[in-house]
Amino acid sequence: MKPAPFDYLAATSAEEAIAALVQHGDEAKLLAGGQSLVPMLNLRLARPAVLVDINRAAELDYLRETDGRVHIGAIRRQAAVERWARERLPLLATALKHVGHLAIRNRGTVVGSVAHADPASELPALLLCLDGDVVARGPRGDRVIPAGALYRAPLTTSVAADELVTEARFTLPRPEAGWGFAEVARRHGDFALVGAAALLWLDGGGRVAGARLAFFGVGSTPTRGTAAETALTGQTPSTERIVAAARAAAAVLQPEGDLHASARYRQDVAAVLAERTLAEAWKRCRKTP
């Protein structure tokens, strides 16, 4: 399975990459980690005339914590972010452990996965769950796209064809917040059939001060479980409330079926995983002083 021929440009800066995108339009594709793109090239499902490689744009290789958020540059590898996240953002570290296998994560990038927008992948859902956004840079300058406005359809975002996503930002959860993560996959490392990520934090009175729930594998984009978030906020958490909230969140989902799981399965199990991750988050947040 050899790719169709293409020209190749190794951009040494974001600017150079963007100029190539402008010049070649939809004949060009950006290459970062390549763990999603190169299989498509090999299968000839993608046939760009020009590949714009940004791996040598050193300015895009960074990870910075600023003002309660983590900024991850376009070519920072998933494995490197995972190592950072073990201490600083365990929800993200746990999600990353489910992304393929180590060799994939040694090349794959967080920004790449976020921008690739596979609805069954973990990181777009984490972007939603962690109040994330991306910076898209193009000939017209930089703009911030919040996670809620980023995902349009499978493999489709609101990033323009002449824009490069230079960084993804995630908000670090409050220290007292609990988190939960669960997915069902046929094998370890596979794309999820369905998954959920949750955050919960309580006020001084033990009521839910805030909640976040995000699903993946449940439709054409990652999806916030706002019905659950709303149902729980201001309430004292309980198992019954969490079950009801989870069901409410899953009820509005419109998943698609495929070879590995039917739509019915995804919807039903979304409720199960929402329940489990919210319960896990609740358990964790009670322990924090």
Partner 1 sequence: MGAKLFGASVPRREDPRLLRGEGRFVDDIKLPGMLHAAFVRSPHAHATIAAIRTEAAAARPGVARVLTFADLERWMKPLPLFGAIPPGLAARVDVTMKQVAQLAMARDRVRHVGEIVAMVVAASRALAEDAAELVEVDYEPLPAVVDMLAGAEPGAPLIHSEWPDNVALRFKTGFGDAAGALKAADVRVHERFYVQRYVGMPMETRGVVAQWDARDGSLTTWNGTQVVHFVQQGLVAALGLPANKIRVIAPDVGGGFGTKATGYPEDLLVPAAAIVCRRPVKWTEDRREHMMAAAHARHQVHDIEIGARRDGTMLAVRDRICVDLGAYNSWGIVLPYNTVAHLLGPHRVPALDVECRAVVTNKTPNAPYRGAGRPETVYAMDRIVDCLARELRMDPAELRRRNYLSAADLPYELDIPYRDGNRLVYDSGDFRANLDAALDAIGYDHLRAEQAAARTERGILRGIGISGYVEGTAIGPYEGATVRMDATGRAVVATGACSQGQGHETSFAQVAADALGIPLDWVTVVGGDTAAIPFGIGTFASRSAVNAGSSILVAAGKVREKLAAAAAALLEAAPSDIEIDDGQAFVRGAPASSVSLERVVRSALPTFAKPGAVTADFEATVYHHQPTVTYTSAVHIAHVEVDAGTGAVRLLRYMVAHDCGRLINPMIVEGQIHGGVAQGIGGGLLEEMVYDEQGQLLTGTFMDYLVPTAMELPPIETVHLEYPSPRNPLGIKGIGEGGAISPPAAIANAVEDALASFGVRVTRAPLGPDTVRSLIVAARAKKGQP
Partner 2 sequence: MTREIRLTVNGREHTARVEPRTSLADCLRDALDLTGTHVGCEHGVCGACTVLLDGEPVRSCLMLAIQAVGHGVTTVEGLAPHEGLSPLQQAFQDKHGLQCGYCTPGILLATHAFLREHPEPTHEEIREMLAGHLCRCTGYHFIVEAVEAAARAVVRPKPA
d(CA 260, CA 225): 23
Binding mask 45-64 for partner 2 (x = CB under 8 A): ------x-x-x---------
- Any idea of the CA torsion for 110, 114, 117, 119, to the nearest 10 degrees? 80
Which residues, numbered 147-206, are part of the site for partner 2 (CB under 8 A)?
Answer: 187-189
CA distance 49 to 53: 13
Residue 78 interacting partner from partner 1, partner 2, none (CB closer than 5 to 8 Å by kind) = none
At 77 the three-state DSSP class reads strand
Question: Which 83-122 positions form the footprint of partner 1 (CB under 8 A)?
Answer: none
Angle of the 78-88 helix axis to the 90-97 helix axis, nearest 10: 140
Selected from 5, 68, 141, 204, the binder of partner 1 by CB under 8 A is 5
Q: How far is the CB of 162 from partner 1 (least distance, A)?
A: 29
By the 8 A CB rule, do 163 and 188 touch?
Answer: no
Of 170, 191, 201, 215, the one binding partner 1 (CB under 8 A) is: 191
Q: Does residue 276 touch partner 1 according to CB under 8 A?
A: yes
Residue 193, binding choice from partner 2, partner 1, none, Cβ under 5 to 8 Å by partner class: partner 1
Binding mask 64-83 for partner 2 (x = CB under 8 A): ---------------x----
Kindly tell me which residue out of 12, 106, 158, 220 binds partner 2, with binding defined by CB under 8 A. 106
Alpha-helix residue ranges (DSSP H) falling in 119-255: 122-129, 147-150, 226-232, 239-251
Site string for partner 2, 196-235 (x = CB under 8 A): ----------------------------------------
H runs (alpha helix) in the chain: 14-24, 37-42, 78-88, 90-97, 102-105, 110-116, 122-129, 147-150, 226-232, 239-251, 263-287
**Element counts in the chain: helices (H) and strands (E):** 11, 14
Question: Which is closer to partner 1, CB of 10 or CB of 40?
Answer: 40
Which one of 87-95, 136-144, 179-187, 245-253 is the stretch in contact with partner 1 (CB under 8 A)?
179-187
The least distance separating partner 2 from the CB of residue 277, rounded to whole angstroms, comes to 21
Q: What is the CA radius of gyration of the chain?
A: 19
Closest CA to 54 of 172, 160, 137: 137
Interface positions with partner 1 (CB under 8 A):
1-5, 39, 43-44, 184, 186-191, 193, 259-262, 265, 268-269, 272-273, 276
Contacts with partner 2, residue ranges (CB under 8 A): 1-8, 10, 31, 34-35, 38-39, 41-43, 51, 53, 55, 79, 100-104, 106-107, 187-189
